[in-house]
Structure 1
């Protein structure tokens, strides 16, 4: 078969992404129709910048979700005749798809399929790790800002201690294979992964303290499910094998949480220091509401705008850091199709066969751009509240 030109390549890629287009159309149609009932999310569709950012981010989210349908070849499969082939080259007879749409890399793997599957790898780590970092930062930042005093001084000192170390060097230190032998990642996981459980238990206990039956139900379910997940994720000791995390992924996940949590802590602390002097806080104290109820159900909802914006931006920063780690061979695994590793694999022949390095670089750039635009849209709309 003859190679196809760029027109045919783009047409075939558009067709391959059909599940993504369908999901985007449905998402936008439903969201725009009900936007007045959807709070801040609905207001996002009044912002052109926000909608563009949301569309780009959701494109990659749906790409990760439907990756098994979109890919044309096994992203780890190697066909010796396809080594360093240009985009549009016909695949050998018997292949699952007629062409290597974006060519083959230096190990004869399909660049298009690796780019698509790389979205799943990135989006499986960055949002979850950022969420864990936010739960750590919020759980510590709320009491530090609300109570102030020695508690604030001690926690702020620890946060500043971590932030004083160069971030990228700290990342490299935490994800190197040698660090695993010291047991430090497991110790950090044991400490950091308990915070989501503490946060949710405190949240439900403060909200339903006057309704013991509902409180006990929610707290009990949280403890059972949380400790079950905690045993598997932190110690790989889940007896049912549902929750687990391989050592390389644990290193990366812990590094992201450990590096991002102090920054989130400082943001939350600063917001609480400002909001604790508001009238609604004084009214809650006068009514006899507990400190944690005021922090979680009075102050935190009023801080949601800046925190949501920072969450989107922080996912973008984390995506770049994951790409950087993968580029230097410190990612999840050497053969992983994550974008950083793929860029590193393709850079050696950049002047001759640019596609293997350029394609994942554009994918990484577009996701970060989408997250930044989404954050700008959310900031714009949250300021109108």
Structure 2
């Protein structure tokens, strides 16, 4: 929030606590809840979190244990309500544990991408002399299609889930940097920033304590919607054999393994495909809902 009200502490203005902040948070939450699609997305994400956290409690079978006596069972079979795969592994257990992998991969890659993007965006927006150099680097990264850039990074680093996180986080940096830079450019010449400069506040203090909190709304929206891209990209890379390796229960790898059985056991491909579709849909609609809720123009409508 802009420093509309300040008190003096040791000669440095400090932002006074605003009684309106809890009201704004409550108002934002109410607008998100009233958005039906955003609410559906929030419920789906909540279910994924529950599956990821309580996976050992809500499954009966080990997702990696083979049992060839029950291989390729269709959904609805006794003891395996989502069926089994070509090695007799329970599909429900693999979907549940796959939710854990997708959530961890998405959060890790988006968090790393936000850290790098926010840092670049703050520096580029605040320091004019750095803007040209940093934005040219960002433009160079934009020149590569995202999935190809991720594949190039994995080809250099090697095939593993950790390297997939690194690749997707690097892919996320330029978009985040552009968003933060635009916000910083609109804020750095505001009155409260000029007042801080006039009393000798350091650039680091101004950027981190006063400018960055005012950029949180677009960062939150970007991070939420980027989760959908990160989960989809993780699945795509695993499908291509560049991410999770067998027998890891990752949704993209499950689709890759099931494509040879599309005509005899389509559930091996369809079920993880539906799981990916629902989670990507959930993060996208929640991001749209947050964008609408955090839009200051919505308060005047």
TM-score with structure 2 setting the length: 0.85
2:277 aligned residue: 365
Structure 2 residue corresponding to 1:103, chosen from 57, 66, 83: 83
2:144 aligned residue: 165
Q: How does 1:1-385 map to 2 (within 5 A)?
A: 38-39=25-26, 42-43=29-30, 44-90=32-78, 99-149=79-129, 151-176=130-155, 179-180=156-157, 248-384=160-296
Aligned length: 275
Give 3-state SS (helix, strand or coil) of 2:241's partner: coil
Report how far residue 250 of structure 1 moved.
Answer: 2.5
Q: Give per-residue Cα distances to partners, 1:28-62, cap 9 Å, x unaligned.
A: xxxxxxx9585576343343333222111111011
1:242 aligned residue: none
Q: Give per-residue Cα distances to partners, 1:312-364, cap 9 Å, x unaligned.
A: 01111011100101111111323210100011111222122111111111111
The 3 A distance-change label for structure 1 pair 264 and 361 is: same
Q: Are 2:101 and 2:250, in contact at CA under 8 Å, matched by a contact in 1?
A: yes
Q: Give per-residue Cα distances to partners, 1:161-186, cap 9 Å, x unaligned.
A: 1221222112122224xx347xxxxx
Report how far residue 127 of structure 1 moved.
Answer: 0.8
Give 3-state SS (helix, strand or coil) of 1:342's partner: helix
Following the alignment from structure 1 to structure 2, what is the Cα–Cα distance between the partners of residues 263 and 333?
A: 29
The 3 A distance-change label for structure 1 pair 257 and 112 is: same
Q: Give per-residue Cα distances to partners, 1:205-250, cap 9 Å, x unaligned.
A: xxxxxxxxxxxxxxxxxxxxxxxxxxxxxxxxxxxxxxxxxx7132
Following the alignment from structure 2 to structure 1, what is the Cα–Cα distance between the partners of residues 100 and 54?
A: 9
**Structure 2 unmatched runs, 5+:** 1-21
Following the alignment from structure 2 to structure 1, what is the Cα–Cα distance between the partners of residues 168 and 140?
A: 16
Q: Are 1:40 and 1:382, in contact at CA under 8 Å, matched by a contact in 2?
A: no
Q: Are 1:49 and 1:373, in contact at CA under 8 Å, matched by a contact in 2?
A: yes
Report how far residue 79 of structure 1 moved.
Answer: 0.8
Q: Give per-residue Cα distances to partners, 1:109-144, cap 9 Å, x unaligned.
A: 111111111000111111121111111111121021
1:224 aligned residue: none
Report how far residue 262 of structure 1 moved.
Answer: 1.8
Q: Are 2:28 and 2:293, in contact at CA under 8 Å, matched by a contact in 1?
A: no
Q: Are 1:40 and 1:378, in contact at CA under 8 Å, matched by a contact in 2?
A: no
Query: What's the C-alpha RMSD, in Å, of the aligned pairs?
Result: 1.9
Report how far residue 155 of structure 1 moved.
Answer: 1.0
Following the alignment from structure 2 to structure 1, what is the Cα–Cα distance between the partners of residues 239 and 27?
A: 36
**Structure 1 unmatched runs, 5+:** 1-34, 91-98, 182-246
The 3 A distance-change label for structure 1 pair 271 and 37 is: closer
TM-score with structure 1 setting the length: 0.67
Give 3-state SS (helix, strand or coil) of 2:113's partner: helix
Following the alignment from structure 2 to structure 1, what is the Cα–Cα distance between the partners of residues 211 and 276?
A: 35
Following the alignment from structure 2 to structure 1, what is the Cα–Cα distance between the partners of residues 232 and 189?
A: 37
